[in-house]
Amino acid sequence: MSKNGPQHSPEFLAYVYKNAAVGLCYIDTQLRYQHINEWLAALNGLPVEAHLGRAVREVLPDLADGIEKQLRQVIESGEPIIDGFTEAETPAHAGLRRTFSHNYHPVKAEDGTVVGVSCFVQDISERKEAERQTAVAQSVLEVVADGVIVIDHHGQIQAFNPASESIFGYRRDEVGGMKLSALMPEPYRSEHDSYISNYLGTGTAKIIGIGREVQGQRKDGSLFPMDLSVTEFRLDGAAMFVGLVRDMTERKQLMAQIVQAQKLDSVGQLAGGMAHDFNNQLGIMLLDVDMILTSQTRDSEASPDLRDDLLKIRKGLVRSSALTKKILLFSQNVARKMEPVVVNGQIEEMGKMLSRLLGEHINSVVDLEEDLWSVSGDAVGIDQIVTNLAINSRDAMPDGGTLAIETRNVLLDPEVSRAKPRARPGRFVRIAIEDTGSGMDEDIQAQMYDPFFSTKHPNEHTGLGLSVVHGTVSGHGGWIDVESAPGRGTRFEVYLPALADETVSDSAQDSSPRVGESCGEHILLLEDETSLRDVIQKALERKGYAVESYADLATARPAISETSFDLLLCDVRLPDGEGTTLVAEALERDSSIATILMSGYVPTKDAPELSKFAKTAFLYKPFSLTDLLSEVRAQLDRPR
């Protein structure tokens, strides 16, 4: 058989024409089928014989318009149509649109006259679908937020999506030929290469199909935490791998902030409970000392030394009381007396005090926004925020520097607020305090709100300053942002929710407490702490009041139905309930009765309940003898 033998014979060509896996046909100038192979005939849904001599419109009525138009174009122009495309349903694929490519070539006589059209038709549906899926996959790779890196079995990078460029700082054209392990520091770099080679050699998958957290290394050499998942696929029989990379930096920061917030919440609840018990003990001692001092004042033969000792004891008790108030402010679960506050006014009033506090070596700059929104807040708490942050800044500048205090109205949108765990959209007043001091590294920032944590000498500070700030800000429904670095100073930004109503009423003028004299009024005292109950009763009876005392709700309840009282003095938290229950029942019987609630710790969850008692006074423990007697007298003298 010669080299150019049977494959060019008419019989062989007819065989190829008949059995080709593509569509072949010849159509004359009258648009009638003269020849057609079996593949194309089957596609049209008819046998070969049913095509011959029949017009295209007879065989394919639904597709004829488009096909005839292109056939006439070829016949009239004498030019072929190459790589045309048609999407259609054919009789062989009813209800399913397929994609076909077609080439129409003019068949010419010796004189150049077009005598027909030779047609080549191919079903490329699978190829087009593959191309579509490839395009979709490529589009996804271009926009997906995670890094997608394709590597070969040598670990060399073959594909690098835009997210990977953003994460690592390399352009795609820079990573060609690099290994994926080059994007990690040691020991992860060596471990990764050994994992892949070991997997290819033994089939043991230590990282394939398993996500793990490793350190990534950017082009600039900086390290960051990343989640890396590696999966395998085959390309032309060769092993290929896809690495999915997620930068965990922001998530780690958010998780650290959330853990810190949860830790502070837990410690705050514990601190609040301890402060409540401690306040009871302080209250006992403070009232006892005040009564002894009162007796000493009336006794002309009293020892001056004894009085001095008592005053020293009282001073220590007052300082201890101030410390428990700091602990309660640190606790985020303590209810505060909220009222409209103009922050600018608070800062201006604090001006002279802050100047003395900072010292002459600190230059202070105050920039207050005009028409600053009001906030619902505790004025004393806001003063404490500014004061503690100012002290913190002062201590960071022992050799002098500048402290800037700034207020601004801020409107946060949802996108910005999502980046901060405690933030939310809305209107806020921002108090910024910035210094040019020593700054803080990340380790110090991670601990700065911890109670009793301090970078200063233990004898100089309690370590509660920033804890109190954090607790107070959280209690106001706000949060704190911090920017700091060693040698670059620190900027604290406090965000407090702004009021919708900007009207702030003038504060009532404070009147000096008036102890007054008793008229023998009848008082019900409800307090579960025995020693505190006894000393309060003794103080009131010495002043001439008739006092009935009870230790729990169960024994006090019958008394209000059997006896007429002028005033109820009740602890909020009791072993068998709440003092507010007794107050509510008494007011329901007699709305004119005077009422006072007292507590050393009021959780935020109880604040809505207490707010119902608008006409009921409140004494925060520990209170002095003057505080107790003046509040009792004020409530008894209040018009009913």
Is the pLDDT confidence value at 522 over 90?
yes
Q: Does residue 114 sit in the same domain as residue 161?
A: no
Bridge-based pairing of strands 490-497 and 426-435 is antiparallel
> What total of structural domains would you count in the chain?
4
Q: Does residue 344 sit in the same domain as residue 403?
A: yes
DSSP β-bridge partners for residue 484: 490
Is the pLDDT confidence value at 508 over 60?
no
Is the pLDDT confidence value at 502 over 70?
no
| Per-residue pLDDT band at 166 (split at 50, 70, 90) | very high
Mean pLDDT of the chain: 82
What is the structure's pLDDT at 435?
Answer: 93
Q: Give 341-356 pLDDT, tens digit per residue.
A: 899 988 888 877 788 7
Q: Does residue 118 sit in the same domain as residue 153?
A: no
Residue 91 lies in a domain: yes
What is the structure's pLDDT at 610?
Answer: 59
DSSP 406: E
Please check whether residue 603 is in contact with residue 272, taking contact to mean a CB–CB distance below 8 angstroms: yes
| Per-residue pLDDT band at 329 (split at 50, 70, 90) | low
Residue 506 lies in a domain: no
Residue 622 lies in a domain: yes
Range of the domain at 361: 339-497
CA distance 105 to 118: 5
Q: Does residue 115 sit in the same domain as residue 150?
A: no
Say which range, 158-162, 201-205, 214-218, 480-484, has the weakest mean pLDDT. 201-205
| Per-residue pLDDT band at 628 (split at 50, 70, 90) | very high
Q: Per residue in 38-64, is it b (16+ CB within 10 Å) or e — as a string? A: ebbbebbebebeebeeebbeebbeebb
Residue 289 lies in a domain: no
Over residues 166-190, the mean pLDDT reads: 88
CA distance 271 to 251: 30
User: What tokens appear for 421 in the block?
Assistant: 């765990």
For residue 637, the one-letter residue type is D
Say which range, 207-221, 357-371, 576-590, has the weakest mean pLDDT. 207-221
What is the structure's pLDDT at 596?
Answer: 94
E-strand ranges in 274-380 read 339-341, 362-368, 375-377
Is the pLDDT confidence value at 25 over 90?
yes
| Per-residue pLDDT band at 265 (split at 50, 70, 90) | low
Residue 516 lies in a domain: no
What DSSP string runs through 371-386? Answer: TPPPEEE-HHHHHHHH
Q: Does residue 491 sit in the same domain as residue 586?
A: no
Over residues 477-492, the mean pLDDT reads: 90
What's the longest Cα–Cα distance across the chain? Answer: 148
What is the structure's pLDDT at 299?
Answer: 62
Over residues 377-397, the mean pLDDT reads: 85
Residue 286 lies in a domain: no
| Per-residue pLDDT band at 49 (split at 50, 70, 90) | very high
Q: Which of 497, 514, 541 is the last residue of a domain?
A: 497
The helix (H) or strand (E) run that includes residue 497 is strand 490-497
User: What tokens appear for 442 in the block?
Assistant: 């990340």
Is the pLDDT confidence value at 477 over 90?
no
CATH code of 373's domain: 3.30.565.10
CATH code of 611's domain: 3.40.50.2300
Q: Does residue 419 sit in the same domain as residue 562?
A: no
Q: Dihedral of CA 549/553/558/561: which sign?
A: positive
Name the strands in the sheet holding 490-497, side by side, starting at the edge strand that comes first in the sequence: 362-368, 401-412, 426-435, 490-497, 479-484
What DSSP string runs through 49-83? Answer: GGTTT-BHHHH-TTTHHHHHHHHHHHHHH---EEE
Q: How long, in residues, is the chain?
A: 640
Is the pLDDT confidence value at 132 over 80?
yes
| Per-residue pLDDT band at 68 (split at 50, 70, 90) | very high
E-strand ranges in 353-417 read 362-368, 375-377, 401-412
What is the structure's pLDDT at 519?
Answer: 80
Is the pLDDT confidence value at 482 over 80?
yes
What is the structure's pLDDT at 463?
Answer: 44
Residue 322's CB is within 10 A of a number of other CB atoms, namely 9
Please check whether residue 69 is in contact with residue 58, taking contact to mean a CB–CB distance below 8 angstroms: no
Q: Does residue 70 sit in the same domain as residue 164?
A: no
| Per-residue pLDDT band at 285 (split at 50, 70, 90) | very high
Q: Which of 247, 272, 295 is the last residue of a domain?
A: 247
What is the structure's pLDDT at 117?
Answer: 94
User: What tokens appear for 356 in the block?
Assistant: 């003395």
Residue 485 lies in a domain: yes
Q: Does residue 92 sit in the same domain as residue 156?
A: no
CATH code of 28's domain: 3.30.450.20
CA separation, residue 409 to residues 225, 314, 350, 368, 614 (Å): 36, 44, 20, 10, 31
| Per-residue pLDDT band at 559 (split at 50, 70, 90) | very high
CA distance 46 to 68: 19
Q: Does residue 343 sit in the same domain as residue 473?
A: yes
Q: Does residue 389 sit in the same domain as residue 473?
A: yes
Over residues 50-60, the mean pLDDT reads: 92
Q: Which of 216, 247, 278 is the last residue of a domain?
A: 247
Q: Does residue 472 sit in the same domain as residue 375?
A: yes
Is the pLDDT confidence value at 615 over 90?
no
What DSSP string runs through 194-244? Answer: HHHHHHHHH---SSBT-EEEEEEE-TTS-EEEEEEEEEEEEETTEEEEEEE
Residue 16 lies in a domain: yes
Q: Does residue 589 sit in the same domain as residue 468?
A: no
